[in-house]
Amino acid sequence: SEARTYTITAIPADGVGQEVVDAGRTVLDALARESRGAFSFSWQELDWGSEYYAKHGRMMPEDGPDLVKDSEAIYFGAVGWPSVPDHVSLWGLRLRLCQGFDQWANIRPVTFLPGVESPLRRADSSDLDWVVVRENSEGEYAGFGGRNFAGRPGQGEVATQSAVFTEVGCERIIRFAFDLARTRRRKISSVTKSNAQQYGMVLWDDVFQRVARDYPDVETESVLVDAMSAKFILHPEDLDVVVASNLNADILSDLGSALAGSLGLASSANLNPERRFPSMFEPVHGSAPDIAGRGLCNPIGALGSAALMLDHLGLAAEGENLQQAIAETCRRGILTHDVGGTAMTREVTSAVIDHLQ
């Protein structure tokens, strides 16, 4: 039968983003080879990022999203380099794609891998795993606000930065999280700071309570974000699906991946659940300028993101195969330096390929 070809856009961008996307492509192409002609990947690689900015004065071409919109998924590295202000690089590339393609659900699993030591006391890889569902289209990252009065004598500049919460935006991410909980352990924790932020986050809480009535089989709790950060450490066994606004979920997912052993382990999917636009898969970490270019960064966050992409493309068995190969590689102690090992990026990558079924 005809081989199915998936068109994927790779945007490695900056720093270790280039190294981990290279690792992910190597693993995905190995999976395709082992499918014996069942499927393959056709890659479109784009050189957008901070080097592109140095040449062209922007992070991607004006019509960048048009060049990407027909691919079936985007495989993204990390954006940001000391040569470009962080808000320019983030808004000019990553947030422009997330918002332009209405990738409103950001899924960030926290997986405790065998062979990786967690800083949590009593952590046991067999019974800890949860997923952070991040609202990815509005909230604190809506970009509302401005800077005024620069140079006004005697008073100085004023900046406002407003968070935006819409009923539609809250409802779709909360429903998404409830549906996900039904495929897992049927427990959902909603995180806000509605005691202090009395408009947007109280709307979120109201929507959460209303939607919860449609899911009587799912256990619910509402937790303030500061208490939740303590709970991540003290009672991680209580967590299954954690749904939170853009900023709070961003912070909590870094905390979760550090508890699992390293930021280099954490994977993420930016989904457009309606599939009108391509979804984007990327490690949670940034460009890691402190270790970039030395071949020693951890590729597992990017490889786990590749597994999430396989799932999204309808290749669920291949995604599971890749997750198992990642776990087996860690179990055997083939680990990069950030999780206490001595292996290079390329050695972890080939070990994962060797452990594919």
Residue numbers of the site for ligand NAI (CB under 6 A)? Answer: 16, 20, 78-81, 86, 90, 94, 263-264, 282, 285-291, 297-298, 301, 338
Nearest to 76 by CA among 9, 28, 5: 9
Of residues 180, 239, 235, 170, the one with CA closest to residue 205: 170
User: What residue spans of the chain are helical by DSSP H?
Assistant: 16-34, 50-56, 64-68, 86-89, 95-100, 167-182, 200-212, 225-234, 246-259, 300-312, 316-331, 345-354
Q: Which is nearer to ligand NAI, 135 or 240 (CB)?
A: 135
CA pair distance 71, 78, nearest whole angstrom:
19
Q: Which of Mg ion, ligand NAI, none interacts with 263 (beta carbon under 5 to 8 A by kind)?
A: ligand NAI
Between 279 and 287, whose beta carbon lies closer to ligand NAI?
287
In the complex, the residues that contact Mg ion under the rule CB under 5 A are 250
Nearer to Mg ion, 109 or 341 (CB): 109
Q: Report which of 184, 179, 244 is spatially closest to residue 215, judged by C-alpha positions.
A: 179
Of 80 and 236, the one with the shorter C-beta distance to Mg ion is: 80
- Judged by beta carbon distances under 5 to 8 A according to partner kind, the member of Mg ion, ligand NAI, none in contact with residue 49 is none
Q: Give how far Cα 209 sits from Cα of 170, 171, 202, 222, 258, Å.
A: 11, 10, 11, 9, 31
Largest CA distance in the chain: 75
Q: In the structure encoding, which two tokens stand for residue 163, read together?
A: 């968070």
Residue 329 near residue 351 (C-beta atoms within 8 A):
yes
> Rounded CA gap, 176 and 221, in Å?
16
Between 99 and 287, whose beta carbon lies closer to ligand NAI?
Answer: 287
Closest distance of CB 82 from Mg ion, Å = 18
The closest alpha carbon to 188, from 158, 167, 218, belongs to 218
Measured over the CA atoms of residue 213, residue 214, residue 220 and residue 224, the dihedral's sign is: negative
- C-alpha distances out from residue 280 to 101, 297, 350, Å: 9, 21, 24
Minimum distance from residue 255 beta carbon to ligand NAI (Å):
13
Q: Which does 237 bind (CB under 5 to 8 A by kind): ligand NAI, Mg ion, none?
A: none
> Which residue lies nearer to ligand NAI by CB, 236 or 286?
286
Q: Which residue is nearest to Mg ion (CB)?
A: 250
Question: How far apart are alpha carbons 84 and 338 in whole angstroms?
Answer: 26
Tokens of 334: 């083939």
Whole-number minimum distance, CB 15 to ligand NAI, in Å?
Answer: 7
Q: Which residue is nearest to ligand NAI (CB)?
A: 80
Closest residue by Cα to residue 76 from 57, 101, 112:
101
Residue 138 binding partner per list ligand NAI, Mg ion, none, with a CB distance cut-off of 5 to 8 Å that depends on partner kind: none
Instruction: Give the one entry of Mg ion, ligand NAI, none that residue 172 binds, where binding means its C-beta sits below a cut-off of 5 to 8 angstroms depending on kind.
Output: none
Nearest approach, Cβ of 106 to ligand NAI (angstroms)? 10
Closest approach of ligand NAI to the CB of residue 152, in Å: 30
CB of 282 to ligand NAI, least distance (A): 6
Within 10 A of 43 (CB to CB), how many other CB atoms are there? Answer: 14
Q: Residue 243 binds what, of Mg ion, ligand NAI, none (CB under 5 to 8 Å, by partner type)?
A: none
**Residue 285 interacts with, from Mg ion, ligand NAI, none (CB under 5-8 Å by kind):** ligand NAI
Length of the chain: 357
* Closer residue to ligand NAI, CB minimum distance, 32 or 296: 296
Nearer to ligand NAI, 89 or 321 (CB): 89
- For residue 202, what are the CA distances in angstroms to 61, 166, 197? 39, 11, 7
Q: How far is the CB of 316 from ligand NAI (least distance, A)?
A: 25
**Residue 28 contact, options ligand NAI, Mg ion, none, Cβ 5-8 Å cut-off depending on partner type:** none
Q: Which CB atom, from 250 or from 318, has the smaller least distance to Mg ion? A: 250
Name the binder of 63 from ligand NAI, Mg ion, none, CB < 5-8 A by kind: none
For residue 94, the minimal CB distance to Mg ion (Å) is: 10
